[in-house]
Chain A
Amino acid sequence: MSDFISFFAQSLPKLLDGLSTTLFLTFLSLILGFLLGISLALGRIYTPKIISWLCIGYIEIIRGTPLLVQLFILYFGLPSVGIRITPITAAVIGLSLNSGAYQAEYLRGSIQSIKSGQMIAARALGMTKTQAVVHVILPQALRISIPAWSNELIYLLKYTSIAYIIQVVELTAEGKFIAANTFRYLEIFTMIAIIYLSLTVLFTEIIDRIEHRIRIPGLGAKRTTLLRDA
């Protein structure tokens, strides 16, 4: 055990290096994916048929193909048409485009779960459709989509490890290097698994607190959590 701890301490600086790349990829892709996702969801629901179809087409293509294949196309495929991007750029673009498609569907579900009376009441007041969406529909829909969004965050956190295949040195890739030098595969990947797990628990808890804080009074279930209430 003490050996495991000293090996952990020894590997920690490298792992933290990798972790910072992992977190960078996760949050940047989550935010860019959110911006893309909200545009796609609104495009799918509120725009004329032709734009709506384009949004659906995009979502289906992205969700219907493996993330790995998408990353290969970006990183190995694009240079053959003269576009060269760094591994990290390819990873951010790939993960964002991918996450955007999934987030679009979460948001669409939330938006469509809002009772039609909300839109009708907003329009009856004299709001334009855009005002109704911004002031009435989205504030409710975004709250509803928080649990799905929390899911997307921990999904992204773990799936950034795929970027290792296009030579991004994130947490898993650092582990692979250390393991290749020391042959201590079991220990290093156990450490990495623990790091991922700690982060997912932490993120879930944070989002849970945010959800609780901005919940609509009188609506929604009481909070139950793994960790003790502060």
Chain B
Amino acid sequence: MHMLEVKNLHKRYGASEVLKGVSFTMDKGETKVIIGPSGTGKSTLLRCINQLHPPEKGQVFLEGVEITDPSVDINKIRQKIGFVFQDFNLFTHFNSLQNVSIGLEKVLKMEKEEAEKRAMHELKRVGLGKFAERYPAELSGGQQQRVGIARALAMDPIIILFDEPTSALDPELIGEVLEVMQSLAGEVTMLVVTHEMGFARNVADEIIFMEGGHIIESGSPKQMFTSPKHKRTGEFLGKIASLYGEE
């Protein structure tokens, strides 16, 4: 049984079909990176997995349970799927500690004290133990995103979905976030949409290349970077490399 199985997922917004039948699986502890041009449905795919945007067709199984079944309690399922957003989406009226503990208190119904202890542990894990009292508006983008990761980690999720976690960051802040993510690899199952090719190459167990609502191909970083099967994959990686100065 796979930890996550996505089967033939379809999603449309009005007239445009964004996902045209996407299927893949993930196993425990794996890190998979989804790459591809903008507007090819990568973020939509993540939002279909945790049902923030319910798909029209297809199924998602989490630990063998079909979570696209309308009879499941989606709030219970979402507790087990961490989500890290491109623009952080920290709760602006809570400090870092409260941002991490609120889910534990209100969703997992932990005692406040226990929740805060756990939240503090997660903040330290992302290197922000000293920033527990700071509010989001008092943190840099990189720090905010690390709080966002701590918030997801605290719920002890089966998998964490990262939706372009470094795209909104100034270049000098990207490193600290990628470092945290790299430190989680192997420990936490991660599905990451990103344009950071260095991260994809060094951390991913598998790279999935998406375009036009389809998965064009997937494979190990080595295979994808050195001998992609599909012409489009090579073109895309070449373009990204020249843009970001990789190799």
Q: Which residues of A contact B (CB under 8 A)?
A: 115, 117-118, 120-128, 131, 135-136, 139-140, 143, 216-219
Q: Do B137 and A127 touch across chains, with their CB atoms under 8 A apart?
A: no
Query: Is B79 engaged at the interface, CB distance under 8 Å to the other chain?
Result: yes
Pick the interface stretch among B11-19, B86-94, B119-127: B86-94
Q: Do A216 and B107 touch across chains, with their CB atoms under 8 A apart?
A: no
The CA of A216 and the CA of B134, in the complex, are separated in Å by: 11
Q: Do A127 and B93 touch across chains, with their CB atoms under 8 A apart?
A: no
Q: Do A127 and B92 touch across chains, with their CB atoms under 8 A apart?
A: no
Interface residues of B in 94-121 (CB under 8 A from A): 95, 102-103, 106-107
The CA of A143 and the CA of B94, in the complex, are separated in Å by: 13
Q: Do B137 and A219 touch across chains, with their CB atoms under 8 A apart?
A: yes
Q: Do A127 and B83 touch across chains, with their CB atoms under 8 A apart?
A: no
| Most B C-beta atoms less than 10 A away, residue of A125, A143, A217, A218 | A125
For the complex formed, measure the closest distance between the CB of A144 and the CB atoms of chain B, giving whole angstroms. 10
Query: Is B85 engaged at the interface, CB distance under 8 Å to the other chain?
Result: yes
Query: Is B136 engaged at the interface, CB distance under 8 Å to the other chain?
Result: yes
Q: Do A217 and B137 touch across chains, with their CB atoms under 8 A apart?
A: yes
Query: Is B52 engaged at the interface, CB distance under 8 Å to the other chain?
Result: yes
Q: Do A118 and B103 touch across chains, with their CB atoms under 8 A apart?
A: no
For the complex formed, measure the closest distance between the CB of A75 and the CB atoms of chain B, giving whole angstroms. 43
Q: Do B93 and A218 touch across chains, with their CB atoms under 8 A apart?
A: no
| Interface mask (B37-80 → A, CB under 8 Å = 1, otherwise 0) | 00000000000001010000000000000000000000111110
Total contacts A-B at CB 8 Å: 72
Q: Which residues of B contact A (CB under 8 A)?
A: 50, 52, 75-79, 81, 83, 85, 87, 89-93, 95, 102-103, 106-107, 134-138, 151, 155
Q: Which residue of A lies closest to B90 (CB)?
A: A121
CB neighbours (8 Å) of B103 from chain A are 125-127
Q: Do A124 and B92 touch across chains, with their CB atoms under 8 A apart?
A: no
The CA of A15 and the CA of B220, in the complex, are separated in Å by: 85
The CA of A117 and the CA of B103, in the complex, are separated in Å by: 16
CB neighbours (8 Å) of A128 from chain B are 75
Q: Do A125 and B138 touch across chains, with their CB atoms under 8 A apart?
A: no
Contact with A126, one of B78, B93, B137 (Cβ below 8 angstroms)? B78
- Given A131-B107, A216-B137, A218-B137, A123 contacting B92 (CB threshold 8 A): no
Q: Do B155 and A126 touch across chains, with their CB atoms under 8 A apart?
A: yes
For the complex formed, measure the closest distance between the CB of B47 and the CB atoms of chain A, giving whole angstroms. 9
Q: Do B79 and A125 touch across chains, with their CB atoms under 8 A apart?
A: yes
Q: Do A143 and B93 touch across chains, with their CB atoms under 8 A apart?
A: yes
Q: Which residue of B lies closest to A136 (CB)?
A: B91
A-B contact list, 10 entries, CB within 8 Å? A115-B89, A118-B91, A121-B85, A123-B52, A125-B102, A125-B107, A127-B75, A135-B102, A136-B93, A218-B136
